[in-house]
Structure 1
């Protein structure tokens, strides 16, 4: 090589690759530039020359790429013919035959070069022979780590992927499996280390760098003592190499960053229980537990015999008890594989004991408890305590506010500690619910572990205090939300459970809609109510259940309502809690009478209402609870009206009103006025009914309970229809319909639609009435509203009659009568029978007579002489023995006019009726 005076060195006379890199080193010395300065010069010129790449190029005795040579020479200050000369010399050397006699000389001030035949590390653990599942994650990671997704990215940055998930979810298995699949892509080797991030003493980056440098061929004496220098040498060694790094079980980003290579030719795969979200440019994979089908496949690969096929149900039970956690499934499989005589049901039975489940999920060095313990130990004391106490509650998931309630802290601090549990993979962030709340959930095995830690680290007193505080917080918030749900005007009756002073409730509740909140918390509340019953916390159970009644009613969740109140009522009865039993019975009476009660062989719905309402009145009377007595007396009034004792019905409605006034129960006043008005309506005293409803409507508007505004408007509209105030009736019903639909209150909506349909029919518009009645019938069937369905079918039958279609009318009316028999509202049953008789008169005259006579008997028993007189005009002159096949007559024809003997018979009955109706006390 020749130098010209003080000018730059040139490559003339260079015959070996080692001599060429030595000349490049001399050129950098002549330019007096650091590697970083060279990189900055190249970047200014619009080129790329990373400092690590330059250092690697000068440390080797091999030829660098021609484009790198050109960029390097220009960065050193040369241009034009000089750059061309360096590139031409490089290309000539590349084309010459390879010499193998001895290495080129090395400058004494240069880093020790890496020999071309240096070690190729292969540090990966063995792949798992029965690796199962992850059909989405494996291709995604292979594509990313092979560089297939790098278009448009910075090509000088290494490819990084992270796998996160809870302990035992299979992060390491996935990483090792993918790394083995990539071994042919990264031909210069694979580096692996277990960083022990979940241990109390994670590995330090400096120690790992030393381990990797030794694997890359650096002798112990050549490893710098300083961690920064180790990192520089490590990146120098990796520069230009195609190496895959697997950093398993990382603790934090700070543990990982010093281990990242500085070259685009390498790739990094990191696993961690934390998400390591601040590692720039990483492709992130979050692992969840296996689906049941995948878990079954894994179990089958471990057992390898025929037991699983023959005992499929037991296998599915094992998978369910393992919660789909791959580690748990693997442990269960290992135990079964080691015991070929075991029936799978035997292990399922052992796992069914929740207190010993984690004991059973241990085999050799595999143990679910030990895996979870590593995550738990890494938490700070407050997060550990939150974890223990949250595990005490049977919640499918919960919102962030509950963490604050458990810690008795502000909402922000509660969220901070909940997120710490998420970072430790001991809680799962379950997303945002419909009310805008961040939700969290436990894996079943993690919850068991949390309860184990609570049993060990908490005292009995602290556990009791946590349960009391937690249930109390739910009550405080649930009561607040329930107060804004439109629904029944029952008295809000609560037990003695303490509600903690949670100031955050006042700040939390205005920002969220009550209906949406109950939608989001429904499953959690049902689980808590069930847990309270199991723990003997009957006061908590009936308080929470009582708070849900209006929500159940408005949302039409009648089966949930029945099931919840039945379970809690049993728990209260077993505990001797008469108040709780009475509150639950009150709600059950309401929902089973008007919605789900269709007769079950124990009498009709109204007869059961009568018996249960008076039993409820006795219970509240024994308790001396006047508001409860008022609610029960209203139910008694409804039952008496339905079964025909209207005077007694008015007496009990009046008593209910007095009790409500005396006890300060505004909802009770509205309910009492409505019950009294219905009794007046049944007696045909429409003016009295309208006056009482006007008072009730005013009070309902003041109470600001839209559900009861709509309810009173309905009955007001029905009453004004009977008074022929059609426009006023229509206006009231339309307002009621608007309110019902706004709140999604299907029960009230259907009743309003029925009233509008009958109004249209009465005003002479059967076409409009038909569409509305059909909608009512459809909704009634869908939501099992027997009372409404019976009325809708009766109305449809009358519409068919008005359209001249008696055959179709019979179909509707026969079903209506059948339902009314199970309902037990006698006046409505008689009205449906009358309509059915009219339809039969044109299709099956003998049946018509029987329908009319049954209707007449009911009207006679009710003392309704006006309706009786109407029915008597349709009874055939010879009773019900009219021969089949005789020509039909219309109801108004002379053939159906009562003859003197029949008229005298029924008139005598009508005059002699003694009012044998109802069961009033």
Structure 2
């Protein structure tokens, strides 16, 4: 695809112009293109779209715009143009696919040709660049960032045009320029340089009077528009024209230099290491370095030395990129290239600036006896020597800002490329290029270049596995490739099998002087003692991501102190940061995690490791309970152990779990792995309490596999430890999972065991929770009296314990029983009480369930308008709390309400959405109910064929999950649909006797009764 911003925003796929979409998409794309190949934050995109008045949904709207653009590009063969980063998005585009980049490149070439005296070539490049413009930059797109960038681009265009015209005047092409200059002056009447160029072109063409008239018009315009006279240069030009000054004549061709100036008469150092023959996969970074250097030297207003800092973890390939880029741009630095390895990764091996300055001064021609003794004096001599020499300085592996500051030239004539494992944020004005690991294709390409392309291609699966075991880290890949190259008799699979043993992986990734362990160890030793302790203890939790609070628990230190240690590790590239504030997350690279586990085993005792793990699990349980209370409005529908919690400061807790479900989602890997680690360590009470606390997430987001796995682990741990209450709690919760999966016989077996154990130990709360779920099973089986009896017993226990939300839950289920038995008045009374209790208890989830039942009640009363209103309120609530299962049920009710109001189109939309949610969450009952609704809708539309299809599917679902009540309803409706289908088949012509009455619910058990 080709992107154009030099004029109205356009995207071309071949010859096809793409429809970018509305204003927001165009603003989003424009901002991504202005910073192509760089991260554009979500906040910046939101500000570009909305200005200072950001609506609450601004970030969501940005995500919607990004999704729309991705779909557009994917539809035209390029789904990966826009990628998500930790802080925002990157639009990746080659320089030749963006007209603004082509314009920059061409004008840069033009300026170089002009400096070298090749004027014809310079004009050709300028004209090629100007031909890319189709109008004002990003014409028609509003927003301050876009307008500011557009103004800059438009200014660059007219400056380039002026420079081009000046060159052509110097070449004697004045006659050809008059028409163009006339148009430019008309378009830019206040640009005095253009006025002067037009005057000169007219004068040299023998049109002296017209040239003077241009000046008079310029003077009138300047006075009228700005209240000032033309500048001195224009006034002097007018005077020269009046006096026919010889200096205005076109210079003879011989006066135009055609050869570049002679080279320097100084020593020209060439200290760069050899170029890398198998350089792979870093073209974008090298291009970025070239581009940034070119822009820095073209900026006439810049006085500071251009500094580029390449950062990344050990083994990522920083030196390789720096050396390759230095060779690529070497010709731009005629006074030579300096290179020094500062060995910043290891304190004992660091080379001081004093030593480097001695080497550099000698390379620049200073005799040894003339080199000053002091650091400041050496730095002053160094800067003086480079003041007017265009030299490239490459400083590899810098430890920090102080390590490189004495080595920076003093003027913009030279440039510096620095590599470091730290970001060197203290270097003002430095351009930062972050290095990341290779992708799979780049990794395999590098392996092939080292070990042999045919060899790697012959074992593609093994090659990919090898790349993954190397963590896509360039140094590890080089070592692996070198080992294969040195052992031509090995298959790739052999090396893979050796690396699969994690305890030996770093030993295997060693060849000659190259070694991953040694590389990481240098960085590890460079950080402080407490940071090293945090680093190795972060390998204790078996999770891919970790938050700062985990580190605080591991060290038994404050959040603020630990946060500083995380920053130290992140600056050293030992961990990778994502996000910020209380929600900051960090992770290890795979090979660095292996190193951390090695150090953990070597430097921490088993007792220290176990104590640190227990602190993390206690803090995790404390936060999980806080998140549950915030989500449910209190500590409801929970059974807890006596395990000690690790309290965290209230302000920190509020920041972490202020949005409870997103917190659960972030910490989901830790919850699952923490339950397993608690069982392995013998922390049984922590194990089962964490498992039941995690159900808040597992149930709301339908993570049924996680629910099952964690409860099997916890139940086994409780049985092994003889923890009766823990066994009962796990059986109760696993039975709830079976209900969610509509595996009712398995649920009943677990509940029967659980209630027996709870009764044995006299736990009324646990008994009540199990009773309400058994009551649900009885209702699904059509045994309404038994269901009511169980609900009444549970209600009495919840009321005695003061559990308002538990009581509200039971009351709304009793209300459903009343609806099932044709008593909507009785249901309404119970629901009013349930709604008050759920609101007093602060449980949004139970409140939404009560509202759902109220909507059902209004439908049973024949009030679909009131029902739709209630369902809409409930729908907003479940969407706000992220409950897709509840959303499926409520959408089903809303669809029926719309159908009863005759809104068949909107009913169809709601019911199909309900089916989709039910399928995605695996809730078979919700699926069956929505299919019943679609069957009723089809009958209302006199479409008996589709009605039969939907109802047969619904019947299959209800038979699978063994719900006789719903099975009977499906059969009743299906009989009616089949009869209608037969009637339609017998009727050839004429008006048909419709079965539209079925759409009013007459086919169901009670007049107006809901489906479900």
TM-score tier by shorter-chain length is 0.7 to 0.9
Question: Deviation of residue 291 (structure 1)?
Answer: 1.2
Alignment of 1:179-218 (within 5 A): 179-201=326-348, 202-218=350-366
What is the CA–CA distance in structure 2 between the aligned matches of 1:234 and 1:506, rounded to whole Å? 51
Alignment of 1:406-445 (within 5 A): 406-432=554-580, 437-445=583-591
What is the CA–CA distance in structure 2 between the aligned matches of 1:352 and 1:716, rounded to whole Å? 58
Match for residue 41 of structure 1?
A: none
Structure 1 length normalisation: TM-score?
A: 0.73
What is the CA–CA distance in structure 1 between the aligned matches of 2:327 and 2:943, rounded to whole Å? 78
Match for residue 597 of structure 2?
A: 451
Give 2:769's match in structure 1, choosing from 618, 628, 631.
631
Give 1:162's match in structure 2, choosing from 293, 301, 309.
309
Change (3 A) 1:241 1:516: same
**Is the Cα–Cα contact under 8 Å of residues 488 and 707 in structure 1 kept in the other structure?**
no
What is the CA–CA distance in structure 1 between the aligned matches of 2:761 and 2:474, rounded to whole Å? 55
Match for residue 889 of structure 2?
A: 751
What is the CA–CA distance in structure 2 between the aligned matches of 1:554 and 1:733, rounded to whole Å? 19
Moved more, 233-242 or 811-820: 233-242
Cα displacement string for residues 429-451 of structure 1 (whole angstroms, at most 9, x for unaligned residues): 2234xx97232221111112112
Question: Deviation of residue 646 (structure 1)?
Answer: 2.2
What is the CA–CA distance in structure 2 between the aligned matches of 1:319 and 1:338, rounded to whole Å? 18
Question: Deviation of residue 240 (structure 1)?
Answer: 2.4
What is the CA–CA distance in structure 1 between the aligned matches of 2:474 and 2:996, rounded to whole Å? 79
Q: Which of these two proteins has the greater Rg computed from alpha carbons? A: 1
**Is the Cα–Cα contact under 8 Å of residues 411 and 504 in structure 1 kept in the other structure?**
no
What is the CA–CA distance in structure 1 between the aligned matches of 2:695 and 2:869, rounded to whole Å? 30
Question: Deviation of residue 135 (structure 1)?
Answer: 1.5
Give 1:298's match in structure 2, choosing from 426, 438, 446.
446
Higher RCO (C-alpha under 8 Å, 6+ residues apart): 1
Give 2:698's match in structure 1, choosing from 541, 552, 558.
552
**Is the Cα–Cα contact under 8 Å of residues 776 and 792 in structure 1 kept in the other structure?**
yes
**Is the Cα–Cα contact under 8 Å of residues 295 and 329 in structure 1 kept in the other structure?**
yes
SS at 1:485 equivalent: helix
Cα displacement string for residues 407-439 of structure 1 (whole angstroms, at most 9, x for unaligned residues): 33333322211111111111112234xx97232
**Is the Cα–Cα contact under 8 Å of residues 160 and 269 in structure 1 kept in the other structure?**
yes
Change (3 A) 1:716 1:847: farther
Match for residue 648 of structure 2?
A: 502
Moved more, 195-204 or 700-709: 195-204
**Is the Cα–Cα contact under 8 Å of residues 774 and 790 in structure 2 kept in the other structure?**
yes
Match for residue 271 of structure 1?
A: 419
What is the CA–CA distance in structure 2 between the aligned matches of 1:507 and 1:712, rounded to whole Å? 30
**Coordinate RMSD, CA, aligned:** 3.3
Alignment of 1:462-611 (within 5 A): 462-486=608-632, 491-503=637-649, 508-509=654-655, 512-532=658-678, 537-566=683-712, 568-569=714-715, 572=718, 578-594=724-740, 596-597=741-742, 605-611=743-749
Match for residue 6 of structure 2?
A: none
Question: Deviation of residue 741 (structure 1)?
Answer: 3.2
The answer to whether structure 1 residue 177 and structure 2 residue 334 are counterparts is no
Give 2:396's match in structure 1, choosing from 223, 227, 248.
248
SS at 2:380 equivalent: helix
**Is the Cα–Cα contact under 8 Å of residues 702 and 921 in structure 2 kept in the other structure?**
yes
SS at 2:307 equivalent: strand
Question: Deviation of residue 344 (structure 1)?
Answer: 1.9
Query: Which structure 2 segments of 5+ residues have no match?
Result: 1-254, 256-262, 987-991, 998-1012
What is the CA–CA distance in structure 2 between the aligned matches of 1:726 and 1:176, rounded to whole Å? 73
Equivalences, count: 730
Change (3 A) 1:606 1:137: same
Match for residue 387 of structure 1?
A: 535
Cα displacement string for residues 708-732 of structure 1 (whole angstroms, at most 9, x for unaligned residues): 1121222233235435566765554
SS at 1:150 equivalent: helix
**Is the Cα–Cα contact under 8 Å of residues 394 and 416 in structure 2 kept in the other structure?**
yes
Match for residue 858 of structure 1?
A: none
Match for residue 350 of structure 1?
A: 498
Change (3 A) 1:611 1:210: same
Match for residue 701 of structure 1?
A: 839
Match for residue 953 of structure 2?
A: 815
What is the CA–CA distance in structure 2 between the aligned matches of 1:654 and 1:846, rounded to whole Å? 49
Change (3 A) 1:826 1:351: same
The answer to whether structure 1 residue 280 and structure 2 residue 428 are counterparts is yes
What is the CA–CA distance in structure 2 between the aligned matches of 1:892 and 1:177, rounded to whole Å? 77
Question: Deviation of residue 375 (structure 1)?
Answer: 0.8
What is the CA–CA distance in structure 2 between the aligned matches of 1:890 and 1:470, rounded to whole Å? 66
SS at 1:484 equivalent: helix
**Is the Cα–Cα contact under 8 Å of residues 487 and 707 in structure 1 kept in the other structure?**
no
Match for residue 6 of structure 1?
A: none
Question: Deviation of residue 497 (structure 1)?
Answer: 3.6
The answer to whether structure 1 residue 124 and structure 2 residue 272 are counterparts is yes
Change (3 A) 1:784 1:285: same
What is the CA–CA distance in structure 2 between the aligned matches of 1:134 and 1:314, rounded to whole Å? 24
Question: Deviation of residue 767 (structure 1)?
Answer: 6.6
Question: Deviation of residue 367 (structure 1)?
Answer: 1.0
Query: Which structure 1 segments of 5+ residues have no match?
Result: 1-94, 96-114, 598-604, 849-887, 894-921
Change (3 A) 1:642 1:488: farther
Give 2:924's match in structure 1, choosing from 767, 783, 786.
786
